[in-house]
Structure 1
Amino acid sequence: MDRPHSEFHTDDIAPGDLLRAVLEVALQGTSQPLVLAVSGGRDSMALLHAMARWAPSRVAAVATFDHGTGNYATEAASLVAAQARRLGLTVVRERARTGGTSEAAWRDARWAFLRRVARGFRARVATAHTRDDQVETIVMRALRGSGARGLAALAAPGDVLRPWLGVSRAELTRWVEGEQLSYLEDPMNASRAYLRGRVRHELLPAFERVSPGFSEALLAIGERAAEWRRDVEQYLDGCGLAISASGARLTVPARVLERTTDEGRAVLWPAICGRVGVTLDANGTRSAVRFTMSDRRGAHIVLAGGATISRHRDARGEVFEVRRASAVDGGAVRVSSAPAPSFDGVVEALPSRFGRWRFRRLGVEPLANDAWCIGLPVGTPVVVRAWEPGDRIRTEGAPAGRRVTRYFTESRVPVLDRPSWPVLLAHGEPVWIPGVCRGLAAPSRPGRPELIWYRCEREFD
């Protein structure tokens, strides 16, 4: 993981030499290509020109986002696009579909865009946050009651590269003005309408007048908090965490949290949840700590924003699972309200996709008796829908019918997966729960050439 850069500010070195040295140090910490987040402001335009001059081969693309908030936002995005193309760099530009009304909404939309672009280029996002941004963020976190984890602020270990974090705005200004680089000053930078503006223009200057060196003391606090977070993350790296390919789901062996104290769990749970983009507040942390020792297999709790923590058993034994709520465009988290998918037709017309599941038609019947496969006669009327709590299915072991929940439990299907699990009905009767069981009404015996065979595959996120 990257470590925060030392403070490079000095009056004894030329601005260009300073920034080039800072950039070289930052780039040594990663081999990935970079997507530059450029807003059109002075600091980000400095990053754009510095990378184009000293490390153009490391730039996968320049990403600029028009928040749709007025003329400035559009003009800034246009400036970035024009300058990046002039420098020979690939540009990805997007305009918000709806204009946000808060700092949080703007940030969520922007980061959804940046992360989507980075995934597309298999790259890492690089931003132009400075030492001044770090001080402001620490103050804002402190005002909101953050603990040590939050006070690391922008210096926290993560997947975002911040080359300018050890550089002040004043030092960037010296270089930008000396090079006569084009940029636009965001009118919001002078506004007191939002918290960051009030911290920048009112609170920090007041603290510095009363206690000179206040900002430097905050930076030291942030560095200690970041070091502490790195130690926690390093510990978790050896704890057997398993994260899904999409980064939306994580499992951790239950023993990792059971073998420590409540205080230890209060440290580990926020770090564990943070691995899948779930931020735990104080209430969420207390709930997670209490849930750890409840010993209720199959139970779950819902956190703020719709994220969940559940407990179940998998191939490794008892695990806790953290799930981020359904994501929109890979960014802002919210629970989806879309209706569950369903299909009503004949077996030969089964859809290839059903939510996060795929139905794949097979050319021949499978060699083994596989619960993920079924064969049904041509023309069989079928319905595919999500599981419902009252569903029963007749099997060889229970010819009178048995609740599907029993089969879910025996197959170790987590409670949170069940509501979206497909059930196939033939002639109105449940005959197949993919991967779980097939019913007596499913004519899947071998030697029936008139059968159409399907395999159902789950898309693990």
Structure 2
Amino acid sequence: MSEPTNFPPDALLRASLEVAMAPVDGLVVLAVSGGRDSMVLLQAMARWAPGRIAAVATFDHGTGSHATEAASLVAAESRRLGLTVVRERARVPGHSEAAWRRARWDFLERIARAFKAPVATAHTRDDQLETVVMRLLRGAGARGLAALAAPSSVVRPWLGVSRAELARWATLEKVAYLDDPMNASRAYLRGRVRHDLLPALEAAMPGFSEDMLTIADQAASWRREVERLVDGIGVTVSPRRDRVSCPAAAFDATSREGAAVLWPAVCARAGVTLDATGTRELAKCTAQSRRGSTIRLSGGAIVLRRGAARDEAPGDWFEVRRAAPPPLRDALRAWIGVSEAMPPRFGRFRWRRLASAPVFGPAAEPDLWTIGFPRGVQVALRVWTAGDRIRTAGAPAGRRVTRYFAEAQVSALDRPSWPVALVDGELVWVPGVCRGLVAPSRPGWPELIWYRCEPEFD
């Protein structure tokens, strides 16, 4: 499968680029490592689609002089071509294929967000074959066997092109690149699959490689059908893409086998990957779930069954929540300052200072996400803790905040990160939930500084 075809190299690569770029609305960020395949992508895009390049992104894994030289080559060649280049070096070198991949994709996703453009990589037909075989060895099902051909925002122009074809074009065009010494190594699984297992399988079963690629194409088509099905059941994704909600009726109306098909696709939209065990357990538990039940998945993700929110259709809903990364779990839990300088963010909540007092309704009551603090007063923010009480107009002697949480339908899973505001040591406000009796947030109070606080994940 890696032998060059009879197509002229220019024609093959240019056609592959045009097909891959056709569905893309706008520019792309090129992921270029300095190796042959990615340097061919850089040169081909610069020649045939220079106006579609937002930036070139190259990542130095910090693993030695080769990684640094490769990043330097990419930067120099990109600048020679008149392209914007973003270069970054890993602060802590990884020590496994998974760690390198995670660090590289963290970098690429940040650059893609900054330029508001998808990432384009140089993955080839050979990379696809190796990935399919590796996933087969790990027991992947149809969803996993789609591998690099699975529906994705990543643009992969060379996925139908072999490394041999790219090598031929690189030779003809004298493309500068650096060979990664890891490509010849058997220290990691991909190297052993590439150099030992695949040649042995192809020798024992001629046509094995093409059969695997055909299976991957069929799996990718199946995944696209499943994605269309999930699109039709009313799934919603939070702006941060860490939470997904879908009507429970979609699962109540299907079999356990059907749920096992739907759940991986639903969870993936929250960045949660289900293995075979997790899929089976989730399909089994959701069939027996009731409102308020919670299912915990490996890796810290959570699936809960809840009632409908205000902007959702009536009935029960399932919500998938991705586990927060360690920096988020360890986020700031207390802040003290003056009312003129409230922080723009506190945990997962954003604070926006209003230019003027909000306009209230006939009852002159502001909404519970808005408050005014006197100028110069000291305000303390912290997360809610069990036992917190607040004096309100309806309970002047004080009432537990947990009761207000229940009335506002704030899940028990959200409460530990929910902010509360204190003035002179007294709890005066729980954003979106309740306002204290002493909170000076009504029209007519002099020198009030107005803020609106909202959760970023809503």
The answer, yes or no, to whether TM exceeds 0.5 is: yes
Q: Does the CA contact (< 8 Å) of 1:241 and 1:253 recur in 2?
A: yes
Q: Does the CA contact (< 8 Å) of 1:365 and 1:375 recur in 2?
A: no
TM norm structure 1: 0.91
The 3-state SS of whatever aligns with 2:413 is helix
How far apart are residue 311 of structure 1 and its match? 2.5
Residue number in structure 2 paired with 1:305: 299
Is residue 409 of structure 2 the alignment partner of residue 417 of structure 1?
no
1:162 pairs, out of 156, 159, 162, with 156
Q: Does the CA contact (< 8 Å) of 1:385 and 1:422 recur in 2?
A: yes
Q: Does the CA contact (< 8 Å) of 2:237 and 2:244 recur in 1?
A: yes
Is residue 181 of structure 2 the alignment partner of residue 187 of structure 1?
yes
1:340-355 aligned within 5 A: 340-345=332-337, 347=339, 350-355=342-347
Is residue 398 of structure 2 the alignment partner of residue 401 of structure 1?
yes
Residue number in structure 2 paired with 1:4: none
Is residue 69 of structure 2 the alignment partner of residue 75 of structure 1?
yes
Q: Does the CA contact (< 8 Å) of 1:241 and 1:252 recur in 2?
A: yes
Letter in 2 for 1:341: R
User: Does the C-alpha gap of structure 1 residues 116 and 348 become closer, same or farther in structure 2, counting only changes over 3 Å?
Assistant: closer
User: Does the C-alpha gap of structure 1 residues 212 and 405 become closer, same or farther in structure 2, counting only changes over 3 Å?
Assistant: same
Of all paired residues, the percent bearing the same amino acid is 63
Is residue 436 of structure 2 the alignment partner of residue 439 of structure 1?
yes
Is residue 220 of structure 2 the alignment partner of residue 223 of structure 1?
no
1:94-109 aligned within 5 A: 94-109=88-103
How far apart are residue 455 of structure 1 and its match? 3.1
Q: Distance in 1 between matches of 2:25 and 2:354?
A: 42
- Gapped regions of structure 2 (runs ≥ 5): none
Q: Does the CA contact (< 8 Å) of 1:325 and 1:335 recur in 2?
A: no
Q: Distance in 2 between matches of 1:275 and 1:95?
A: 29
The 3-state SS of whatever aligns with 2:257 is helix
Residue number in structure 2 paired with 1:31: 25
Post-superposition Cα deviations, 1:298-319, rounded to whole Å, max 9, x if no partner, equal 4433323332222223121422
Q: Distance in 1 between matches of 2:173 and 2:62?
A: 30
How far apart are residue 392 of structure 1 and its match? 2.3
Q: Distance in 2 between matches of 1:87 and 1:365?
A: 52
Residue number in structure 1 paired with 2:380: 383
Is residue 338 of structure 2 the alignment partner of residue 319 of structure 1?
no
Q: Distance in 2 between matches of 1:85 and 1:338?
A: 40
The 3-state SS of whatever aligns with 2:319 is strand
Number of aligned residues: 449
Letter in 1 for 2:431: P
Letter in 2 for 1:259: A
Q: Distance in 1 between matches of 2:319 and 2:337?
A: 36
1:210-249 aligned within 5 A: 210-249=204-243
Residue number in structure 2 paired with 1:143: 137
Q: Does the CA contact (< 8 Å) of 1:62 and 1:91 recur in 2?
A: yes
Q: Distance in 1 between matches of 2:83 and 2:449?
A: 52
How far apart are residue 30 of structure 1 and its match? 1.9
Letter in 2 for 1:342: A
Q: Tell me the C-alpha RMSD between the 2 structures.
A: 2.3
The 3-state SS of whatever aligns with 1:284 is helix
User: Does the C-alpha gap of structure 1 residues 371 and 131 become closer, same or farther in structure 2, counting only changes over 3 Å?
Assistant: same
Larger displacement relative to structure 2 (340-349 or 130-139): 340-349
User: Does the C-alpha gap of structure 1 residues 175 and 345 become closer, same or farther in structure 2, counting only changes over 3 Å?
Assistant: closer
Q: Does the CA contact (< 8 Å) of 2:128 and 2:213 recur in 1?
A: yes
Letter in 1 for 2:318: F
Larger displacement relative to structure 2 (369-378 or 194-203): 369-378
1:253-332 aligned within 5 A: 253-313=247-307, 314-315=309-310, 316=312, 317=314, 318-327=316-325
How far apart are residue 419 of structure 1 and its match? 1.5
Residue number in structure 1 paired with 2:127: 133
User: Does the C-alpha gap of structure 1 residues 403 and 50 become closer, same or farther in structure 2, counting only changes over 3 Å?
Assistant: same
Q: Distance in 1 between matches of 2:358 and 2:51?
A: 51
The 3-state SS of whatever aligns with 1:166 is coil
Letter in 2 for 1:185: D
User: Does the C-alpha gap of structure 1 residues 366 and 42 become closer, same or farther in structure 2, counting only changes over 3 Å?
Assistant: same
Letter in 2 for 1:459: E
Residue number in structure 2 paired with 1:152: 146
Q: Distance in 2 between matches of 1:376 and 1:164?
A: 58
Q: Distance in 2 between matches of 1:182 and 1:348?
A: 56
Post-superposition Cα deviations, 1:183-221, rounded to whole Å, max 9, x if no partner, equal 111100010100000000010111011101110010011
Q: Distance in 2 between matches of 1:22 and 1:351?
A: 49
Q: Distance in 1 between matches of 2:342 and 2:189?
A: 53
Q: Does the CA contact (< 8 Å) of 1:16 and 1:175 recur in 2?
A: yes
- Gapped regions of structure 1 (runs ≥ 5): 1-6, 328-333
How far apart are residue 411 of structure 1 and its match? 1.3
Q: Does the CA contact (< 8 Å) of 2:342 and 2:351 recur in 1?
A: no
Q: Does the CA contact (< 8 Å) of 1:358 and 1:459 recur in 2?
A: no
Q: Does the CA contact (< 8 Å) of 2:120 and 2:155 recur in 1?
A: yes
How far apart are residue 362 of structure 1 and its match? 5.7
Residue number in structure 1 paired with 2:196: 202
Residue number in structure 2 paired with 1:358: 351
Q: Distance in 2 between matches of 1:130 and 1:186?
A: 16
How far apart are residue 324 of structure 1 and its match? 2.3
Q: Does the CA contact (< 8 Å) of 1:22 and 1:164 recur in 2?
A: yes
Larger displacement relative to structure 2 (297-306 or 105-114): 297-306
How far apart are residue 112 of structure 1 and its match? 0.7
Residue number in structure 2 paired with 1:331: none
User: Does the C-alpha gap of structure 1 residues 167 and 353 become closer, same or farther in structure 2, counting only changes over 3 Å?
Assistant: closer
TM norm structure 2: 0.91
Letter in 2 for 1:253: P
